[in-house]
Amino acid sequence: MLALAVAGAVVVMRRLADQAALPFQSPGVGVVDVRGVIADSDDVVETLKRFRESDSIAAVVMRVESPGGAVGPAQEIYRAVRKLRESKPVVASLGNLAASGGYYIASACHPIVANPGTLTGSIGVIMSVRNVAELVEWAGIHETVIKSVPYKDIANPMRALTPEEQGILQRMVDDVHGQFVSAVAVGRGMPEATVREVADGRLYSGAQALNVGLVDELGGYEDAVAIAARAAGVQGEPRTIRVRPGRRMWWADWIGGAFGLKPSEWMVAPLPDGLQFLYLGAGTDLR
């Protein structure tokens, strides 16, 4: 009970602290960080909603440092950014890596600012299906599957995919890829045919992305903040309000320590196992 009371009090204090970060001064530029593999959208979407409703926020910078991740969360953040853009300027600032799902989110912003050496693009969808049939056969493991419909155990790692199953999955991947292309086309104001020409999964440097129309300007984080401030008519040096979703509180060490765990071992939610689509850049290790 004490732990729950303390945790609840800290949550309230955090809410008040976040509100206090938006003082009644001249409107500033809100900064939203999208970092690491995208496995969840709740914190980012909530922050975007608060920034949209706050009179203290004149514009927003999405700072993207991500190789991508799960499709659903990337799409939810994309829609939240598009909604925010209806009332306030939203500028994307691409860090070292803003690929696949990271670029998906950035494409909802305008303009997109990238460093010349930023790695971005990787527009595509990937699904990996493991096949450990030979291993389990060697180990003498046998499985009996009882199912009501033919494709209920599709992508079962205990056996190889049938040609029909591979066709089903390929069509779904192609469909989700088409959603990616359409989202970029809408966000960037580009014809879908033009987006498809560069949507073959390859990575681009920031300079290359500028040449093919995937980014608008070359520059860093401070440049993006200045661009957002100008677009919102903020005078002078812009004030920034940064909310880091999922930031660690002091009680994380206390609770985790009671069970001999580090916060990174119980607070970080990795992508779940199982069949899923990923907007994920090549070479990213989720394990």
Q: Side-chain half-sphere of 59: how many Cα atoms within 13 Å?
A: 23
Task: Considering the candidates 152, 182, 262, 264, report the single residue annotated as catalytic.
Answer: 152
Active-site residue 100, yes or no?
yes
Residue 26 is among the residues annotated as catalytic for this protein? no
Considering the candidates 93, 100, 107, 122, report the single residue annotated as catalytic: 100
> Does residue 130 contact residue 287 with C-beta atoms inside 8 Å?
no
Q: Known catalytic residues? A: 100, 152
